[in-house]
Amino acid sequence: MKLTVYIPCYNAARFIEASIQALLVQTSPPDEVLVIDDGSSDNSVELASRFPVRIIRHEKNQGLAAVRNTAFANATHSLVGAIDADVLPDPTWLEYLLAHFVAPHVAGVSGRLIEAHRSRPADAWRAEQMTQDLGLKRIDIEQPSHRRLGGFGTIFRKDAVLSVGGYNEKYRTNYEDVDLCGRLLAAGHKLIFEPRAVAFHQRRDSIRSVVRTCWHWDFYVHYFQGGYNRIWLKILFNFRMARVLVWNHLRSKRFSLLFVDIPLPFILSAMDLRYHCSSRRLPKIAPQPAQFDIYIPWPFRKLRNGRLQ
């Protein structure tokens, strides 16, 4: 089966050349490479145009979910792979992923993502608290599993993705991969995590940028759990979570991570309040009680559950 691989690109001039080169030297190279530029204002497109790739441009920034849909709409082949611009795959990355598509019920495969930079506190914190690496063992993911494939580097069957409606663009830049995997599993498809397919994340963060990314990364998880139904409980949760992180990192003598742990609840809470006061605030939802309980400190949780019985 032939393969199209696309690279989502938004102001990725620092990474785009290395990303394309890493695809072209794969032991099982793609039959087509697309670069989907999402309204970049730097010279990403100019750099990418030096390689044998097809460039498709959005006139303005539309978000990662829209980029993915554009890639699937324009991909020539029946398998469609994705690799983030700041991720460098090992030369055998595609070879290991492609091997699983001999089974017709497999709709998607992904591998390990390892953080290439960990020396600075923000990068080390991201590697520990925001890991997308599922480990060293193969995982077959089928309904009702809660596991999902990370969007940083995947291959999907084009017809399977289109049959469930593609990526939901309301999620814009986060959660679109989780949502798609959930719908594929619900439709009876199988996903596979292949640990031999290894890629390395080249991103570097500051303390503020990693916390902001953390907020965006977890936004829909908190939203669907009812975390934004009572903003003061969400803010209290931020400080409770940070307290646990501080304690754990003190016990493990990972003192450099405290540089992120300590400002973490203040930055998260400021972003929560900004969202709460914005005109883009989403409507409240009714989560399961067990989901919302994580926002309530345990003594009050016990009292609350007692009243519900």
CA pseudo-torsion sign 159, 86, 241, 237: negative
From CA 196, how far away is CA 274, in angstroms rounded?
42
Residue 192 CB-density burial (10 A; 0-12 exposed, 13-18 middle, 19+ buried): buried
Number of Cβ within 10 Å of residue 168's Cβ equals 15
Provide the total of helices (H) and of strands (E) in the chain, helices listed first: 13, 9
pLDDT score recorded for residue 298: 76
pLDDT score recorded for residue 29: 96
Domain boundaries, the chain: 3-201, 207-308
Q: Which two tokens stand for residue 151?
A: 């969007």
CA dihedral 103, 85, 25, 28 (to 10 degrees): 10
pLDDT score recorded for residue 302: 62
pTM of the complete model beyond 0.85? yes
Spatial CA neighbour of 161 closest among 149, 174, 172: 149
Helix ranges, 59-163 (H):
64-74, 93-98, 121-129, 158-163
Q: Report phi then psi at 166, rounded to 5.
A: 70, -160
Residues 292/221, Cβ–Cβ less than 8 Å: no
pLDDT score recorded for residue 247: 98
Tell me the pLDDT of the chain (309 aa) as tens digits: 899 999 999 999 999 999 999 999 999 999 999 999 999 999 999 999 999 999 999 999 999 999 999 999 999 999 999 999 999 999 999 999 999 999 999 999 999 999 999 999 999 999 999 999 999 999 999 999 999 999 999 999 999 999 999 999 999 999 999 999 999 999 999 999 999 999 999 999 999 999 999 999 999 999 999 999 999 999 999 999 999 999 999 999 999 999 999 999 999 999 999 999 999 999 999 888 888 889 988 777 666 655 544
pLDDT score recorded for residue 290: 82
Pairing, β 79-83 against β 3-9 = parallel
pLDDT score recorded for residue 308: 43
Which residues are 37's β-sheet partners?
9, 57
From CA 30, how far away is CA 44, in angstroms rounded?
21
Spatial CA neighbour of 37 closest among 17, 54, 51, 18: 54
According to CATH, what is the number of the domain 3-201?
A: 3.90.550.10
pLDDT score recorded for residue 306: 52
Q: Which two tokens stand for residue 287?
A: 């989560």
Residue type, position 72, single letter: F
